[in-house]
Structure 1
Amino acid sequence: MASGTAMDQKTPPAEAARLNSAGMQALRAQSFAEAERLFVEAVGHDSAASALWRNVAAARRAQGNDAGELQALEAAISVDRVDFMAWLRKAELHQRRLEEAEALEAWQAVLQLAAQAGELPPAVGDALSVGRAFVENAMARIASAVESELQPFQLTMDETEKRRSGAFVDLALGRRRTYFNQCEGLYYPFLPADEFFDRRHFTWMPEVEAATADIREEFLALHADPGDTLRPYVRMDSGIPDNKWSPLDHSLDWGACFLWEYGKPNLPVLDRCPKTAAALASLPSAHIPGRSPSAFFSLLKPRTRIPPHTGVTNTRAIIHLPLIVPVDCGFRVGGETREWCEGEAFAFDDTIEHEAWNNSDELRVVLIFDVWNPHLTAAEHDLITRYYNAADATGLNPAN
């Protein structure tokens, strides 16, 4: 007989649907072996239907056939890697059989899929609650074992090793995510994507910290009579659509008094803050006309939040010297959150997502300024400066 005749053609999926319907009737009648037979026959007509494989698994589960159920669920998942219910039943099966490693892997997949799904039925929600509790317990046990092993060893590490290894452990345990540089302007390749830079890079930092009281006193005098030196930090051009900055636009909820702004000295403020000006003059700042350095008193009013955002270039490090810090203020860069402590400076890469908040009823004030990224060499400082000088001289280079 020639190929391609009706007898050679595959039985249409309609037969699979008929057999599946009969299997469902048998399942409801608790004729589990018959239901399995019908579902298996249905799969023979439409093996690419993951739902049919799940029905086979259900019939085998009702008969206590764990191995057969697992085979059917894995077949469903091989057909459709995002079959939520197949993953859910697989997780429950492994948990029921006390196969904890396999259950953890399956439950993690279930929870990932659930996060992308819409509203789920109450019964599924109850199952997810069981899964979340299992995952939390399992990860807590892993964390306890890891921390018991590593904590004594980490005590021998230097600042860089402790910070990096701590991030590694948190990432491996699912306690944090990885953040990358997102530059609005110049990106310099191959620099470490540090969130907070280690203090050892900034040997001058203790000298700046020692001047905290003088800097605070100069700020308070300036703030008592700021004139036009205090302005909103966020000033969007007219016509820009509403965005995350709109609540702060032209608002002194986040105010700034600039000593230097994009490489230009603000002499009225510098003249009124000579000790602050002297401290800034001693720093390894980039001096690129129209671009850097910048230095300002940052004023965050009570109950104000600066939304997550990223900066212009990773060629710099941003320094915070906290001057006035009420309780319940905080600062996050990437996966690490810190509290400001008056007189204790820190450095971070602002091209990694960061945000700040003042949940108190008092004003928070920080002196913010930028210096060269400590991972750049002196030759690279010179090269970057020459690049901007040459590019800007054309009159074509963007301002950022």
Structure 2
Amino acid sequence: MGPHGCASTLTQVSSKPQTASMTGQHISAEEWTRKGFEAIRAKDLPAALDAFRAATQGPGASAEAFLGLALTELAHRNHDAFGAAIDRALALEPQNPKALVLKGDGLMHDNNRRAALPFYRAALSNAPANPPPSLKRDLDRAAAMVASLAQDLEDFLRAELEREGFNPSTSSPRFALALDLMTGRRERNPGPQQPRMFFLPGLAEHGFYPRDKLAWLPALEAATSTLKGELSNVLSDTGSFAPYVMPETNAPQRDYQGMAGNQDWSAYYLWKNGAEVPANMAQCPQTTAILSQMPLCDMPQRAPMALFSWLKPGARIPPHQGMMNTRLICHLPLIVPADCGFRVGAETRSWQEGHAWAFDDTYDHEAWNRSADLRVILIFDVWRPDVTPEERHLIRSMLAAIDTYAGVPPRWEI
């Protein structure tokens, strides 16, 4: 279904000439928006279009105004303008369910079914408990599209995994169950692990992973002074750090609670999304060599990830959960002032310079720096030691298949 269905109430609007009352007035964006919806109710499409265009030209334009503009542009069959207006609405209100549905509709109109799926899903997850009738119709359409598109994805995914050797009867039972959970064939029981993408059942539940199961930690800690020396050189050019959370343009935006584009939490990458960052590695050759000896996670377009991460004075990273429970995130503190803390699940710890740990980031976790100084740690991801080689291969194959299906780079975070 294309976007025409969402504008059915507008396609019947008459093409009256613009009225004098809609021109030559110096009024606010809010007032223009009100006039736009009045014109829609009066079935005066040209006046509505003029009003919404005026409402979105200057400061004070709202997501509601851009939604009105999108619908009236669509009724005029101006599909490019429709898409641009929806993008502006989502920039203002990333979780607006109406805008998310319309974004999905626009992608469907462009025959981009795979890109539409996450927008329809996001609309449903951000829907109010009791939506008004007009929004409910949009959400019902989104739910129907999700069901259809999700089945399409599952069929593609299982076919690709079969080519990579997956057999539900003989392959890892844990992975077979994980695939059923991910595709919605089965539901998992609630627990402390809450991955946003993939859950492999049967793994031991540890917020902070036991040190005695990570034989490589002492070697990492022994290199603290070397790593700190290279970090000092990096910090001489703070412009080389970039915000850890960057806004996305090809997928629905999550609520990052003010962290998107925020320099308070920033990163200097050595590996990013599975790719080396040669210029940064050249600045940190010893750090690169030490990390290369670690059991780094390797997943196409996702891992390894390795970075120096700073948290500015007074900053706080809000509670969040990671992508999948088959990896661990390692922290080696290098610059740690007092009054810095880190919570994983129900356990809170303070960083100590040179004392590393690894944790399961699918537990709810958060960090803070209540000091007057900068905090910097080395972060990287490793495979959980209890994930078998077969399961690692199947996970890599699954992710590659998802990327092939989506046709766009994945969204990923450490």
Describe the SS at the equivalent of 1:319: strand
Structure 1 stretches of at least 4 aligned residues deviating more than 6 Å after TM superposition: 238-243
CA distance in 1, matches of 2:199, 2:253: 27
User: Corresponding residue for 2:57?
Assistant: none
Amino acid at match of 1:278: A
CA distance in 2, matches of 1:396, 1:240: 12
Q: CA deviation at 1:298?
A: 0.7
User: Corresponding residue for 1:376?
Assistant: 387
Q: CA deviation at 1:261?
A: 1.0
> Once superposed, what is the RMSD of the aligned Cα atoms?
2.4
CA distance in 2, matches of 1:313, 1:279: 25
Q: CA deviation at 1:385?
A: 2.1
Pairwise mapping of residues 331-346 of structure 1 onto structure 2 (< 5 A)?
A: 331-346=342-357
Q: CA deviation at 1:234?
A: 1.8
Describe the SS at the equivalent of 1:277: helix
Pairwise mapping of residues 216-365 of structure 1 onto structure 2 (< 5 A)?
A: 216-227=228-239, 229-237=240-248, 245-365=256-376
Describe the SS at the equivalent of 1:197: coil
**Greater Cα offset, 243-252 or 182-191:** 243-252
For residue 184 of structure 1, the aligned residue among 196, 209, 232 is 196
Query: How far does the alpha carbon of each residue in 1:268-309 deviate from its partner, in whole angstroms, 9 at most, with x for none?
Result: 111100111011111112222201111111100001111110
Query: How far does the alpha carbon of each residue in 1:138-191 deviate from its partner, in whole angstroms, 9 at most, with x for none?
Result: xxxxxxxxxxxxxxxxxxxxxxxxxxxxxxxxxxxxxxxx96111111211221
Amino acid at match of 1:308: P
Amino acid at match of 2:366: E
CA distance in 1, matches of 2:242, 2:259: 12
Pairing 1:197–2:209 present: yes
Describe the SS at the equivalent of 1:327: coil
- Taking only the aligned residue pairs, the percentage that are identical comes to 44
User: Corresponding residue for 1:366?
Assistant: 377
Preserved CA contact (<8 Å) 2:195 2:325: yes
Q: Call closer, same or farther: CA 1:247–1:385 in 2, change over 3 Å.
A: closer
Query: How far does the alpha carbon of each residue in 1:60-118 deviate from its partner, in whole angstroms, 9 at most, with x for none?
Result: xxxxxxxxxxxxxxxxxxxxxxxxxxxxxxxxxxxxxxxxxxxxxxxxxxxxxxxxxxx
Preserved CA contact (<8 Å) 2:301 2:409: no
Preserved CA contact (<8 Å) 1:315 1:376: yes
Describe the SS at the equivalent of 1:188: coil
CA distance in 2, matches of 1:360, 1:395: 43
Q: Call closer, same or farther: CA 1:304–1:240 in 2, change over 3 Å.
A: farther
Q: CA deviation at 1:248?
A: 2.4
TM-score (norm 2): 0.50
Higher relative contact order structure (alpha carbons within 8 Å, sequence separation ≥ 6):
2
CA distance in 2, matches of 1:226, 1:304: 17
Preserved CA contact (<8 Å) 1:179 1:352: no
Describe the SS at the equivalent of 1:399: coil
Q: Call closer, same or farther: CA 1:239–1:265 in 2, change over 3 Å.
A: closer
Describe the SS at the equivalent of 1:347: strand
CA distance in 2, matches of 1:240, 1:292: 20
Unpaired runs of 5+ residues, structure 1, are 1-177
Q: CA deviation at 1:201?
A: 1.5
Q: Call closer, same or farther: CA 1:193–1:257 in 2, change over 3 Å.
A: same
Describe the SS at the equivalent of 1:186: coil
User: Corresponding residue for 2:219?
Assistant: 207
Preserved CA contact (<8 Å) 1:179 1:335: no
Pairing 1:388–2:395 present: no
CA distance in 1, matches of 2:396, 2:348: 33
TM-score (norm 1): 0.52
CA distance in 2, matches of 1:296, 1:253: 15
Q: CA deviation at 1:247?
A: 2.6
Q: CA deviation at 1:337?
A: 0.4
Describe the SS at the equivalent of 2:390: helix
Q: Call closer, same or farther: CA 1:316–1:243 in 2, change over 3 Å.
A: closer
Q: Call closer, same or farther: CA 1:242–1:272 in 2, change over 3 Å.
A: closer
Q: Which has the larger radius of gyration?
A: 1
Q: CA deviation at 1:192?
A: 1.9
CA distance in 2, matches of 1:357, 1:185: 25
Describe the SS at the equivalent of 2:341: strand
CA distance in 1, matches of 2:259, 2:406: 32
Unpaired runs of 5+ residues, structure 2, are 1-189
